[in-house]
Amino acid sequence: MGFGLAGEEAGGVRITDLNPAHDVGASSWYVEFEGHRLLMDAGVHPKREGRESLPLFERIQSDELDAIAITHCHHDHVGGLPVAVRRFPKAHVLMTELSYFLVDRVLHNSVNVMVRQRDELGIQEYPLFTHTEVDEIEAIFQAFRYQREVEWASFGKLRAGHRSPTVEFLDAGHALGSAGLMVRGEHETLFYTGDVSFRDQTILKGARFEDVQADVLVMETTRGARGVEPGFTREAEIERLAEAIREVQARKGAVLIPVFALGRTQEILALLALLMNSGRLPRQSVYIGGLGRVFTEIYDIQAHRTHRHHSNLALTEALDLQVLDRRQLEGIKLGGGRLFVMTSGMMNRNTAAYELGLRMIEDERHGIFFVGYADPATPAGKLRAAAHGGTVEFGGQDRVLTRKCDLREFDLTAHANRDELLDLVGRVSPKTVILGHGEEDARAWFREAIRARYPRVRVADSGPGETVEA
Ligand SMILES: [Zn+2]
Ligand SMILES: [Zn+2]
């Protein structure tokens, strides 16, 4: 141990943004770190299709990647992992223990979705990987607890006597298993937030990023364009949601809450369970999707490993959960006040939320309630922008609908508010901040705010394939 690396390989940090577009997009960062090479996340872009959705892996010149570290199991962070492993078969693949229980479900589901998109939308490049490939790469996944330093240099380098940099997974409070990555070398340190929530959600407690300091900070900026109203409380927001559900159900309309299967689904189910327990909502069935049900089970089973509230609240026992497959979904009647908590959060084509949306948008009895982020170019993003009585290109130009349903937004986000991230910059005290995972206006707010408050910190905006020397 401890020989260090010779020549031009030693020292320095270079970070290349592999997101194929300059937006929230797909998270994937290639880090050259004191002569070692790390890939942080390998996501796919939610509104691109086929190979266009993948990170720009071709920008990585070297075939020698030491490790791939995954922050959490959302598609925009992990959906391209099998393609990354195919390209870099010798890399370690590191994640949290909790992500280990989720990742194979996420990837197998991706294969199913891609096969369906090939058959129904004619996207010939799909699937980008197969079930067999997912099963085979699982054998190299390594899982670690939070707050443990793990060496990640290649075995070859370790055998040659090099000292390995380390990575530590810090609980990010965003979804089950989510983590920020603290990377430490002999001279350099880097911290990557992944997606982070500093505030407690209904189930998950907020991020544990205390005492993090680093030379380089790679930061998500999802909510940079959005401030928090004075007097805002999550509790009042939940009360407002309960009231909205009661209103729709009083007129026998259906309620749809479009969500991601992992994280959003369980947080919404938990607050529905608490609302029913306290009599603020009548006891009733909740309709969910199959994958949402699987992750709900894992949330319950892994409660003891999770930094969370209501440890004894088993969602699958507290609620009457009705799983709908695609065929049942087509036939189900929407009258009578049914409550759907279904994927996808962005209401992408070929998902349950999209199919329900097609049937609900033009009927004023129904309510569609948004509780999380949706990219503006997705069906959910377009719908949110539509005025009552206005038209929306919900499924492209051939699916123009008139919005008549009740449509509301509730701020129950799993992402940090911008002021909280600005405070994080002060605590981490980096030389360089790299802004990612945000739309242009969100990044612009951070650029200005960081320059004004921390004039000595260098702010680097990233772009597709661009490299920052830190
Ligand atoms: Zn996420
Ligand atoms: Zn994300």
pLDDT in tens, 207-232: 999 999 999 999 999 999 999 989 99
The count of domains in the chain is: 2
List Cα–Cα distances, 242 to 36, 210, 235, 236, 275, in angstroms: 51, 34, 11, 10, 7
- Residue 78 Cα, ligand 1 centroid: separation in angstroms? 10
Q: Is the pLDDT of residue 97 over 90?
A: yes
CA distance 35 to 221: 29
Ion ligand 2: residues, CB < 5 A: 76, 195
- Residue 175 Cα, ligand 1 centroid: separation in angstroms? 7
- The residue among 358, 380, 409 that closes a domain is 409
CA distance 63 to 398: 44
CA distance 363 to 330: 17
Asked if residue 2 belongs to a domain, the reply is no
CA distance 203 to 195: 17
For residue 256, the tally of other CB atoms under 10 A from its CB is 28
- What is the pLDDT confidence band of residue 10, given thresholds at 50, 70 and 90? low
Smallest-distance ligand from the CA of 264 = 1
Asked if residue 1 belongs to a domain, the reply is no
Q: Domain range spanning residue 74?
A: 9-226+415-469
Q: Is the pLDDT of residue 95 over 90?
A: yes
- Residue 76 Cα, ligand 2 centroid: separation in angstroms? 5
- The answer to whether residues 83 and 201 belong to one domain is yes
- The residue among 389, 409, 429 that closes a domain is 409
User: What percentage of the chain has pLDDT greater than the value 70?
Assistant: 98
Question: Smallest Cα–Cα separation from 169: which of 197, 141, 142, 146?
Answer: 146
Beta-strand pair 216-220/36-40? unpaired
- The residue among 364, 383, 409 that closes a domain is 409
- Residue 127 Cα, ligand 1 centroid: separation in angstroms? 22
Question: Smallest Cα–Cα separation from 133: which of 83, 93, 90?
Answer: 83
Name the residue type at position 151. E
- The answer to whether residues 185 and 247 belong to one domain is no
pTM to 2 decimals? 0.95
pLDDT at 8: 41
How much is the average pLDDT of 10-18? Answer: 88
CA distance 247 to 466: 49
- What is the pLDDT confidence band of residue 5, given thresholds at 50, 70 and 90? very low
Given a contact cutoff of 8 angstroms between Cβ atoms, the answer to whether 343 and 372 are in contact is no
- The answer to whether residues 318 and 174 belong to one domain is no
For residue 357, the tally of other CB atoms under 10 A from its CB is 25
CA distance 345 to 264: 8
Point out which residues pair with 258 in neighbouring strands.
342
> What CATH number is attached to the domain comprising 315?
3.40.50.10890
> What CATH number is attached to the domain comprising 458?
3.60.15.10
For residue 288, the number of C-alpha atoms closer than 13 Å in the C-beta half-sphere is 26
- Residue 72 Cα, ligand 1 centroid: separation in angstroms? 7
- Residue 111 Cα, ligand 1 centroid: separation in angstroms? 19
Smallest-distance ligand from the CA of 220 = 2
Asked if residue 348 belongs to a domain, the reply is yes
Tokens of 297: 């089970």
CA distance 146 to 194: 14
- Residue 41 Cα, ligand 2 centroid: separation in angstroms? 10
pLDDT tens-digit readout, 348-403: 888 999 999 999 999 999 999 999 888 888 899 999 999 999 999 998 777 899 99
Asked if residue 233 belongs to a domain, the reply is no
